[in-house]
Every structure is written in structure tokens, then in C-alpha cells.
Homo-oligomer: A and B are copies of this chain.
């Protein structure tokens, strides 16, 4: 990456992305919530639970990029309205995915952070479109993408005039099958030496197994990540998607207590 001249590489100061009162890149930020918005009750209850657990933002998908056309595709506008209500109830900013250039303007009216999913990381038209908005963008790494390609995608957004990009490592595709993907924890220190943008980890999609999420979250904190994105569902057994990787509110709360003290220790002592 020696000869690349990218804004994503060149700032002297670390970028802090402001989302309401949340400052991503300054302290530790946890985004939590369900994979998809299924209905108002599930979303509001989960939002309240993750707030109580200590989350800083609420995640939830209204548009779901699904492998099969016959799988649940999300509630669309109805889902966004539910998310808006969840924000009103809890005060948590909303992180939600946008998957079509045509939807960017109106999704941006509901979202506090626009998420670009792994499958769309190199959807350059979409990157250019979110680059035109004033909303922070959470850019997930493509599951087959190198760090260099990823930073070039961030550059599409920065080059469009939007400086507020949060990078999210969510596991890459390898031959290993015990985990859903392979969390590339090295991406955290690698990005810390390459870019000024904040970096968070999504252990839920990376491993796909509830039992591994706490350990990977602790590893993320210790590696220097700026935050986490965690799937939580009030009733994982009934989740429409990703039920194997959604924590219960109780599991999330227990984990968060440890994350808080660990992050405090890491900030003070490492």
C-alpha cells in the first residue's frame, strides 16, 4: 500500500465520528440490536434491553440482503418507522443498512448511521451515493476483501465529501467451517497504522456462534478496537434470521459489564 495516496491514509489526527452524543473513535462504542426489524414489540423491547445493558447505538435491518430471494427481505419503510420509534423511546441513535442507490435519500432521513453491508462493500454506485449524504457511514469489510480494497472503498465515500466513515471488520471467508467466517483480528492493529478512521468489530457475524462472542469481544477490546457491533434479540429462538449468533439481553448485559472494566483497564494500562 506504499504508493497509494488516499485521504483515508493521510490525516494526522484520528477521526472521531459524531453520532448525536456518541463519539465513535473516542472511548468505546457498542452498537447492539437484532439482525432484522421483525415487528414493533421485538424491536422496542430489544432496544430497551440493549440500552440497559450499556449499548450506545441500536442496530436493526429494514432491508436484508439475503442469499435466497425466498428468504425474508426485511420490512422496508415500515421497519424504518419502527426504528424511529425505538429511538424516540430509548434515545439510542439508529444504525441501519441501505442496499439501493435509490433508497439512500429517504433512508438517510430515518438513520443516524448508514450501514453498507459486506456484500455491497464494492457496490461503488452505492458508496458514491452515501458519500453525498451528511450521515456517518458504517462500512463493513467484504468477506473476500483485502484491507487495501476496503480502504479504497472508504475512499469512495470520503472522496464524495463525507468524512465520517466507521470501518467494521466482520470476518473473512476461509476454509474453516467451525466458525461462520474467520474474524481477522489483525485488521485492527493493521488499520490503526494505516488509517485515521475508527475501527469496530462485529464478532456475531464473524463467528456465528453465541458461545464464542464474549471471548472475541474481549479480544477486540484488547487489540485496540474502537467498538463492537453485537446481535441481540429478546428471544433468539424465534429470530427470523441469524438465531445462532444472537445474544439474549441477559447474555449481553453480563458481557457488557466485563467489557466496560476491561476497556477501562486497557485504556489506563496498555
Contact = CB atoms under 8 A, between A and B. Distances in A.
Interface of A: 1, 4, 65-70, 99-102, 119-120, 122-126, 128, 142-144, 146-149, 152, 155-156, 159, 172-179, 182-186, 188-190, 192-193, 206-207, 211-212, 214-216, 218-224, 258, 261-262, 265-266, 269-270
A32 to B, nearest CB: 19
Nearest to A100: B125
Contact of A174 (B67, B149, B182): B182
Given A152-B69, A179-B186, A182-B184, A102 B99 contact: no
A67 B270 contact: no
A178 B235 CA distance: 34
Contacts of A176: 146-147, 172, 184
| Copy count, this protein chain | 4
Given A176-B172, A211-B193, A224-B215, A100 B101 contact: yes
Given A99-B125, A152-B67, A193-B211, A216 B143 contact: no
Majority DSSP secondary structure for residues of A touching B:
helix
A251 to B, nearest CB: 14
Given A144-B144, A182-B174, A65 B124 contact: yes
Contacts of A65: 122, 124
A130 to B, nearest CB: 13
Contacts of A215: 188-189, 192, 222-224
A214 B192 CA distance: 13
A221 B266 CA distance: 12
A125 B159 CA distance: 24
A120 B124 CA distance: 9
20 contacts: A69-B152, A69-B159, A99-B123, A119-B122, A119-B123, A119-B124, A123-B126, A172-B176, A174-B175, A183-B184, A185-B185, A186-B206, A193-B211, A215-B224, A216-B223, A218-B223, A218-B266, A219-B220, A222-B262, A262-B266
